Structure 1
């Protein structure tokens, strides 16, 4: 049994927490959602979907990391714009052998976490194909669990990387390790770029975007630009047919609504800056035109300007 803290225990983090607890690990949940904490403390955490339907009792649920103590594994599962604050909050959880995994959409989060927790204990994680959502406080649902990938950020020894990912494997996650973390991150990013902005703007599910020629024209345009930027950067995507890869993964979770869409439905800021916004930012540096992502970014930012939260 391992002692695990999940900092940023929203919809995705709660899926991790529920399955790891069910596998016998001591799991501590940290989230700023006070209603989620209260429900978990009162009734337990319910996780249902493709993995089954279970209600588990976590070791603790709180809005703060104080009192948890040193952990074997710390998973930072916050939004990208909250990673630095989360990493600072994790410091009391770290001992000499603690591994930290940072799992965010988009680009750049690990670079912001490493100086805080130390690059030699850090793993970059990429997850996808979950379609996770919060149904109610203390209750989350997920449509799949296709991608659980990890790679060492810098000096994390291979044996520590593998020991930390065995915790995931014991809970039913299929883990793949990458030596080339740029390849790993970009394989997921092109998927996010395709569906996050397009579903956010249309309100459609992933399957509906793929089925609608107008929506797919925008989504695939975002994808093609992301692939062009990756190629200009010298990233080896290791995909003969990137669009085919995207459609294959999307076809496994057709009813899913990406987190950016869910955030907007709740009137909350999403992660467009590190997803679709990363493509024109890099494209401008590399001389790669990115008109579709430019437009998607501008429209989503305009929409977010009306949010009060």
Structure 2
């Protein structure tokens, strides 16, 4: 069994932690939410949803990485804007053989982490179709786990990449490994942009967005612009119909509320800059019009200004 630290044990990270601990791995959860850490320490971590309903004990849950020591696998599962801080906190967990997986929405996080972490020990992760949430401290729920993909960031060996993927597989995740990391990341991003900002702006679930003509017009427009930006960069998605791909993945978790909406409802900062905002920034740089994403970003930022004013 492996020693695993999950830096960013929020909704998604708690699903990873719970299923890995249930499989017998030695799992340490690090979260910015003191009440979540305290509840896990006191009662265990409950994971419910498509994987069943189970409560497991982690090796420890805390708000710091102190005292954990070197791990076999370090998963950085924070929000994109917390990656640099998390990477610095993770340094004491990393030995010569440690594999570090960065798993964030949007683009740019692996590059930010690589400024601090050993790039030749890094893998890039993409997950999707989970619909994860934290209904209460100490409890993570997920509606699915459709996508769990990894690829090398730089000089990671095949053996290390496979070994880190096996930890996930042994815990019940269906893992696919990709040689083309950019294509892998953008396959997920074209889905994120369709639902994340749209849900935050409207308050709708993924299924409601797909089922409402007005909402889907916004979501589809965001995704089509992302596909155009992707093509302008010369990235091959390898998907015959990208919009059908987005609809198919989204249709598998109709009751899910994307994390950006959940963050907004909880009064927390969301990842609009890393998701829809990335399309606007790259579009401006590449000369690709992105009017739908531009408006969605403006609406979400206006909402956030009220929350944080």
* Same fold (TM > 0.5): yes
Q: What secondary structure sits across from 2:55 in the alignment?
A: strand
Which residue does the alignment assign to 2:283? 283
Measure the CA separation in 2 of the matches of 1:32 and 1:222. Answer: 31
Deviations along 1:74-93, one digit per CA (max 9) or x if unpaired, are: 00000000000000000100
Q: What secondary structure sits across from 1:6 in the alignment?
A: strand
**Displacement of 1:308 after TM fit?**
2.9
Does 1:102 find its partner at 2:102?
Answer: yes
Deviations along 1:176-230, one digit per CA (max 9) or x if unpaired, are: 0010000000000000000001111111100000000000000000010000000
Q: What secondary structure sits across from 1:37 in the alignment?
A: helix
**Displacement of 1:267 after TM fit?**
1.1
Measure the CA separation in 2 of the matches of 1:127 and 1:37. Answer: 23
Instruction: Please give the residue correspondences for 1:139-150 in structure 2 after superposition, counting only pairs within 5 Å.
Output: 139-150=139-150
Instruction: Please give the residue correspondences for 1:126-165 in structure 2 after superposition, counting only pairs within 5 Å.
Output: 126-165=126-165
**Displacement of 1:115 after TM fit?**
2.0
**Displacement of 1:142 after TM fit?**
0.2
Q: What secondary structure sits across from 1:55 in the alignment?
A: strand
Which residue does the alignment assign to 2:123? 123
TM-score after normalising by structure 2: 0.99
Deviations along 1:1-42, one digit per CA (max 9) or x if unpaired, are: 000000000010000000000000000000010000110011
Which residue does the alignment assign to 1:299? 299
Q: What secondary structure sits across from 2:28 in the alignment?
A: strand
TM-score after normalising by structure 1: 0.99
Which residue does the alignment assign to 2:37? 37
Which residue does the alignment assign to 1:47? 47
RMSD: 0.7
Q: Which runs of 5+ in 1 are unaligned?
A: none
Instruction: Please give the residue correspondences for 1:244-255 in structure 2 after superposition, counting only pairs within 5 Å.
Output: 244-255=244-255
Which residue does the alignment assign to 1:200? 200
Q: Which runs of 5+ in 2 are unaligned?
A: none
Deviations along 1:104-131, one digit per CA (max 9) or x if unpaired, are: 0000000000121111000000000000
Does 1:243 find its partner at 2:239?
Answer: no
The 4+ residue runs of structure 1 with deviation greater than 2 A are none
Measure the CA separation in 2 of the matches of 1:109 and 1:56. Answer: 30
Q: What secondary structure sits across from 1:149 in the alignment?
A: strand
Which residue does the alignment assign to 1:172? 172
**Displacement of 1:280 after TM fit?**
1.1
Measure the CA separation in 1 of the matches of 2:308 and 2:42. Answer: 30
Measure the CA separation in 1 of the matches of 2:36 and 2:126. Answer: 24
Aligned residues: 309
